[in-house]
Structure 1
Amino acid sequence: MMQTIVRKETMKKASLILMFGALLVACGDDSESTNNANNGENNVSNNDSNNDTTTNNGTTTNNGTAGTNNPAVCNQPEASVYMFLNDDCQDTVAYTGQVGRQVLVKDLSSYILSLEAQVDGGNFFPEEGDVVGALDFYFRFDGDASAEEMIRMSADPELLQTTYGFMGGGKDLVSKLAGNDSSTDHKDWSTEFEGWEDATLAQYGGSIDTPEGMVQAIFAQVEKAAIDRANGTFALDPVTGAELPLHVTAEGWDLQQLVEKFLHSSLSFSQGADDYLDDDVEGKGLLASNDGPDGDSPYTPLAHQWDEGFGYFGAARNYIDYTDDEIAQTGYRDTNEDGKIDLLTEYNFGASTNAAKRDRGAAALGVTVDLTGDAWNAFRQGRALIASVEGPLTEAQLDELRGYRDQAVLTWEKAYMATVLHYINDTLSEISKFGSDDYNFVTYAKVWGEAKGFAFTPLYNRNSPLSEEDYAELHRLLGDRPVSPAADTAEIDAYQEGLRTARQILADTYDFDQALIGGDNGEDGW
């Protein structure tokens, strides 16, 4: 049975700092071990907690000793830390490549937003291929050639890792996108990719037929907008005629939001649900070997597969000790008080932050939702089970692990689909402002783009509770662009009614409380 872990109000921080400060992380990715010395990434952050506020996560404590070897010698971490030590007191958890890809997605998104200032400031006069090439720096990242390049993202206090070298070589985005790492894909995404039908998106390049084609199409749209802007041509608001930001098109596509959220669903979730945590391919995911370490690495292949799934979920090593506000608003904490934020252990990325935002949003409406706690419990308990077994898992143990996996993946999917519901409400809210002084086309494009990008998530979970028919209907109702503010009243009304139907599909499928759905215009909803 799964045990629930309480976020603790106090912990013995000094002793934990000493304990974790003495350990060495074995960093690796993609079933291979890497031991990079750059920027101190192999120094374990203190993953203890010093949380002085209470949250609503869980009701039962766990002593954290299950699945550990020789705890009296190695002083095993408590259950509020995602860390598992071997007999040599080495942390056996490693997912450097997953963190590296989280950073690449954030930096790609940031770069798109920076283009307007570069072009307007006269610092960049792009020609054909220049912008796509700049975006491919992140998408097709060359770790060997770009190890010394500075990371774009930042934190306060500053990041421990300052260059991309911390992630090692071979850690690009394109090779892990759904369809490109196809050995575990439950469908052929070169022929069965669904969710977008408007070929206009790909009119300047790319395609709408595959996940990679979608990313390339968005890149080509960004490049066209940058070249046009450099030559004095701007996309215009369809109602006011005002100039739009470089990353927003007259169709209502926020290209930055679309590509960022599409990568979260079609790369991070796809890799987690359809690869590292799946069990349909021998030797991969939950069917990987637990019979001894993987080469010179301190972990078994099974443990490493599970950890890589956790890395794509994006949680810090002591995620359960954060408040929802802390995850949603800041996202990181200098846990070991060394004056730096360690991306490998002290930073919350992607889905882990969406889970906290939805928990917080539900609490504001008087509804108890604990996506953060449900995800943590599943990931932490599943890893503890793996660590408790020497050698292959029995069928009963494997079934138990599948149960933890099912909860982890479903909670992850729910966090993203709750976010789709949230942004459908925001889209309805923006539509209600058409014709008023509060109308803002840029905001409208942003919130629709977030809903659409995340809505691809269920496609990559072969066990998704959303049926193929409802998936198709969800995307039909969202459309491939939001209804134009210049459309006639009947078309706008029909689109609004479709969004309300889409909300109900999500609520029914994922068992979201009706109190979270919201009013006709998205008010008082998630």
Structure 2
Amino acid sequence: MINLRKSALASAVLAAAIGLTGCGGSDSKDSGETPVTPPTNQAPTDIQVSTSMITEDTLGVVVGALTATDDATSGHTFTVSDERFEIVDGELKVKNHLAINFEQETEVTVSVTVTDADGLTFTKDLTLNVADVDAVAGVNTYEFNSKLGEGSSVSYTGQTARHALSAEIKHYMGLMSVEYIETNGIMAADVRAKLDALWGDYAAVADSSISHLGSDLSAYKQKSFSEISSTGKELSGKIAGNDASKMYQDWLVAGTFKGWNDFGTRAATPEGLVEHYFDLFIAQIEKVNAGEALVDANGVAIAHAYITPEGLDLVQLVQKHTLGALMFSQGADDYLGEGLETDNKVAQKESAKYTALEHQFDEGFGYFGAARNYLEYSDEEIAKKGGREDYQGKNDTNLDGVIDLASEFVWGNSSNAAKRDLGATVTTDLTAQAMLHFIAGRKMITDNHGSDLSEFSADDQAKFREHVFQAVNAWEKAIAATVVHYINDVIADIENIEDGEYTSAEFANYAKHWGEMKGFALNFQFNPYSPFANHESNPKKDTVGEAKFVEMHDLFGDMPVLADADAFAQYKAQLIAARDILDDAFDFEDANSENW
């Protein structure tokens, strides 16, 4: 077969050599020969990918090599319109921080454009099927067989019990509308005793029903707290400062805990703030007990005792602060910090099927709150906003007829990760990033049974540390994105109330969203890996650091603004400035920050 382009090139060279053109040569008209015309470059006519299958649950997975049908065989460049994908060395791949989830979508269509060396283009939509990968222990589910006996080596029931206690406090406080208090004869002293028990006396509540799950608990394996974990699971014992082991800060030293100024009569510590919130709540109930009407600073009725006249939603502040000062602190700073320096050779205790290192890592994961088959859910299902009916934040994975709260239920920040992924304008995948790095890190511990972390090879130590960092980073980004979400809600709420004409419900929304914003924003200081931390594990210590954390909270203040139009306008500007701090700290896309 003759290559026409090469043949034409040879003719042109020959013509130049024998002088068919140029000075002294014969004109083609005189010779009777037809002039040689170089062929016109044609645009590419097709694009192929070497495989049309995407493997799910794999960060940065390569789809396949791209080729083009063209009159030229080289010089092609490819681009892809779907921002989840990129092209590296001629291969179509998912970006490194993203994974495709079969439960989210079974098919993906991407528009790929090829450009040849002369700038001519061709675009084609490629339809890619998503491969549904079976749930496999240590690959896409958080499950690992014991090297010390038969069965699983995974255990973190204490963390689940504390999640349940925190949710119970939120539920109990949330019942306290003025109407509920008056109708049921609720007395402030009884409420205080109940809160003190849920917070700090596990023995007193251990056999109580987990009422936040509903009145019918037949669908759950554990119906009381003691059925999750038997003894000693007080929230008070694990909040930052009270459990001093493995903490990078001494939270009982005055001035260490930042972001809040008024602690009433309580110590300026993480637990002191919880107690202060409880004090404010009880004072509101005492007013109802005394027949005093609850109203805000503008005289608008307050329907719920957990909302103060200053606009503090104490339900949200208690729960969100607990998620940070206890769950995030214990997970990121304790178990996934110094806790990783423990033994990986023998059973942690008699009859245990796990080493100390395995258990420390599991406990860190347990505070994130994900179900063990988290990747088998869609984001809508994790967030309870759609999808399969039997995957709404929980799933009977082992088909035993009941939900195991310690393995088949979604708790805490793992739910927020999915909510923010759903709300992202520019795609994020905080759920996959956190879960896949948690699984990969734990797998390295299991695969290296018999060696402590210090005895891993240098490469393996670096890989392991990166898995830990990326898991915690996704966890914290879920918190940060949630703060941004509530900044946007608070700004929208201000537009409803800034004229001074608003309803009790509008005031309650403002208080709720402000409490969620402020409560979550206190969380960052408890993570040594955080861009806001004053710690060597913070890669942004010199560019963001603790000073920016304090600046952000100064912008938020200790209560929402309730004043005139000028004050509201200034406060909205402060909220946007705080949002910009979070954008810089976590490298959020502007489109996400503005729309979350």
TM class by smaller structure: 0.7 to 0.9
**Deviation of 1:235 (Å):** 2.6
Out of 438, 454, 467, which is 2:520 matched to? 454
**Deviation of 1:241 (Å):** 2.2
Distance of aligned partners of 1:274 and 1:188 in 2 relative to their CA distance in 1, 3 Å threshold = same
What SS does structure 1 have at the residue aligned with 2:211?
coil
What SS does structure 2 have at the residue aligned with 1:386?
helix
Q: Does 1:492 align with 2:568?
A: yes
Distance of aligned partners of 1:492 and 1:411 in 2 relative to their CA distance in 1, 3 Å threshold = same
User: 8 Å contact 2:293–2:301 — kept in the other structure?
Assistant: no
How many Å separate the matches in 2 of 1:462 and 1:308?
17
How many Å separate the matches in 2 of 1:78 and 1:291?
19
Aligned residues: 448
Which residue type is aligned with residue 349 of structure 1?
W
How many Å separate the matches in 1 of 2:106 and 2:131?
14
User: 8 Å contact 1:355–1:372 — kept in the other structure?
Assistant: yes
User: 8 Å contact 1:252–1:481 — kept in the other structure?
Assistant: yes
**Deviation of 1:512 (Å):** 0.7
Q: Counterpart in 1 of 2:174?
A: 113
Which residue type is aligned with residue 318 of structure 1?
N
Q: Does 1:226 align with 2:303?
A: no
Q: Does 1:94 align with 2:149?
A: no
What SS does structure 2 have at the residue aligned with 1:153?
helix
User: 8 Å contact 2:210–2:224 — kept in the other structure?
Assistant: yes
Q: Counterpart in 1 of 2:185?
A: 123
Q: Counterpart in 2 of 1:272?
A: 331
**Deviation of 1:425 (Å):** 0.4
Distance of aligned partners of 1:481 and 1:165 in 2 relative to their CA distance in 1, 3 Å threshold = same
TM-score (norm 1): 0.80
Q: Does 1:237 align with 2:287?
A: no
Per-residue Cα deviation, 1:144-199 (whole angstroms, up to 9, x for no partner): x4432111121687222101112110111001000111111111111243334442
Q: Counterpart in 2 of 1:358?
A: 420
Q: Counterpart in 1 of 2:251?
A: 189
What SS does structure 1 have at the residue aligned with 2:174?
helix
Q: Does 1:291 align with 2:339?
A: no
Per-residue Cα deviation, 1:274-326 (whole angstroms, up to 9, x for no partner): 100003xxxxx111111122122110100100000000000001001100000
**Deviation of 1:441 (Å):** 0.6
How many Å separate the matches in 1 of 2:508 and 2:220?
31
Distance of aligned partners of 1:218 and 1:437 in 2 relative to their CA distance in 1, 3 Å threshold = closer
How many Å separate the matches in 1 of 2:184 and 2:434?
46
Distance of aligned partners of 1:388 and 1:160 in 2 relative to their CA distance in 1, 3 Å threshold = same
Distance of aligned partners of 1:107 and 1:398 in 2 relative to their CA distance in 1, 3 Å threshold = same
Q: Counterpart in 2 of 1:310?
A: 365
What does 1:366-377 align with in structure 2 at a 5 Å threshold?
367-377=426-436
What SS does structure 2 have at the residue aligned with 1:270?
helix
Q: Counterpart in 2 of 1:214?
A: 273
Which protein shows a greater Rg?
2
Out of 384, 399, 410, which is 1:348 matched to? 410
What SS does structure 2 have at the residue aligned with 1:272?
helix
Q: Does 1:332 align with 2:410?
A: no
How many Å separate the matches in 2 of 1:5 and 1:307?
27
**Deviation of 1:489 (Å):** 2.3
The gaps in structure 1 that reach 5 residues or longer are 9-49, 66-75, 280-284, 519-524
User: 8 Å contact 1:354–1:419 — kept in the other structure?
Assistant: yes
Which residue type is aligned with residue 171 of structure 2?
S
TM-score (norm 2): 0.71
Distance of aligned partners of 1:51 and 1:121 in 2 relative to their CA distance in 1, 3 Å threshold = farther
How many Å separate the matches in 2 of 1:174 and 1:437?
38
User: 8 Å contact 1:109–1:260 — kept in the other structure?
Assistant: yes
Distance of aligned partners of 1:142 and 1:108 in 2 relative to their CA distance in 1, 3 Å threshold = same
User: 8 Å contact 1:324–1:356 — kept in the other structure?
Assistant: yes
Distance of aligned partners of 1:60 and 1:300 in 2 relative to their CA distance in 1, 3 Å threshold = farther
**Deviation of 1:123 (Å):** 3.0
Per-residue Cα deviation, 1:88-135 (whole angstroms, up to 9, x for no partner): 4310000000000000000011110123355221332334xx332210
What SS does structure 2 have at the residue aligned with 1:171?
coil
Q: Counterpart in 2 of 1:6?
A: 56
Q: Does 1:464 align with 2:530?
A: yes
User: 8 Å contact 1:64–1:78 — kept in the other structure?
Assistant: no
How many Å separate the matches in 2 of 1:426 and 1:286?
39
Out of 488, 511, 534, which is 1:425 matched to? 488
User: 8 Å contact 1:193–1:211 — kept in the other structure?
Assistant: no
What does 1:16-35 align with in structure 2 at a 5 Å threshold?
none
Distance of aligned partners of 1:499 and 1:148 in 2 relative to their CA distance in 1, 3 Å threshold = same
Distance of aligned partners of 1:56 and 1:252 in 2 relative to their CA distance in 1, 3 Å threshold = farther
**Deviation of 1:437 (Å):** 5.9
Distance of aligned partners of 1:157 and 1:373 in 2 relative to their CA distance in 1, 3 Å threshold = farther
Q: Does 1:164 align with 2:208?
A: no
Distance of aligned partners of 1:356 and 1:473 in 2 relative to their CA distance in 1, 3 Å threshold = same
Which residue type is aligned with residue 292 of structure 1?
V
Which has the larger share of strand?
Answer: 2
Q: Counterpart in 1 of 2:16?
A: none
**Deviation of 1:457 (Å):** 1.5
User: 8 Å contact 1:470–1:505 — kept in the other structure?
Assistant: yes
Which residue type is aligned with residue 210 of structure 1?
T
Distance of aligned partners of 1:146 and 1:53 in 2 relative to their CA distance in 1, 3 Å threshold = same
Distance of aligned partners of 1:172 and 1:165 in 2 relative to their CA distance in 1, 3 Å threshold = same
Deviates more, 1:443-452 or 1:86-95: 86-95
What SS does structure 1 have at the residue aligned with 2:496?
coil
How many Å separate the matches in 2 of 1:56 and 1:108?
42
Distance of aligned partners of 1:63 and 1:399 in 2 relative to their CA distance in 1, 3 Å threshold = farther
Deviates more, 1:327-336 or 1:164-173: 327-336
How many Å separate the matches in 1 of 2:514 and 2:195?
23
Which residue type is aligned with residue 341 of structure 2?
L
Distance of aligned partners of 1:5 and 1:100 in 2 relative to their CA distance in 1, 3 Å threshold = farther
Deviates more, 1:463-472 or 1:429-438: 429-438
Q: Counterpart in 1 of 2:48?
A: none
What SS does structure 2 have at the residue aligned with 1:121?
helix
User: 8 Å contact 1:261–1:454 — kept in the other structure?
Assistant: yes
How many Å separate the matches in 1 of 2:472 and 2:293?
42
**Deviation of 1:508 (Å):** 1.2
What SS does structure 2 have at the residue aligned with 1:267?
helix
Which residue type is aligned with residue 265 of structure 1?
G
Q: Counterpart in 2 of 1:413?
A: 476
What SS does structure 1 have at the residue aligned with 2:197?
helix
How many Å separate the matches in 2 of 1:259 and 1:197?
13
Q: Counterpart in 2 of 1:103?
A: 164
**Deviation of 1:234 (Å):** 3.1
**Deviation of 1:60 (Å):** 10
How many Å separate the matches in 2 of 1:196 and 1:79?
39
How many Å separate the matches in 1 of 2:165 and 2:210?
9
How many Å separate the matches in 2 of 1:449 and 1:193?
22
User: 8 Å contact 1:420–1:452 — kept in the other structure?
Assistant: yes
Q: Counterpart in 1 of 2:449?
A: 390
User: 8 Å contact 2:383–2:393 — kept in the other structure?
Assistant: yes
CA RMSD of aligned residues (A): 2.6
Deviates more, 1:304-313 or 1:427-436: 427-436
Per-residue Cα deviation, 1:353-393 (whole angstroms, up to 9, x for no partner): 0100000011xx3x110000000011000001100012123
The gaps in structure 2 that reach 5 residues or longer are 1-53, 59-100, 109-128, 385-391, 533-544
Q: Counterpart in 2 of 1:16?
A: none
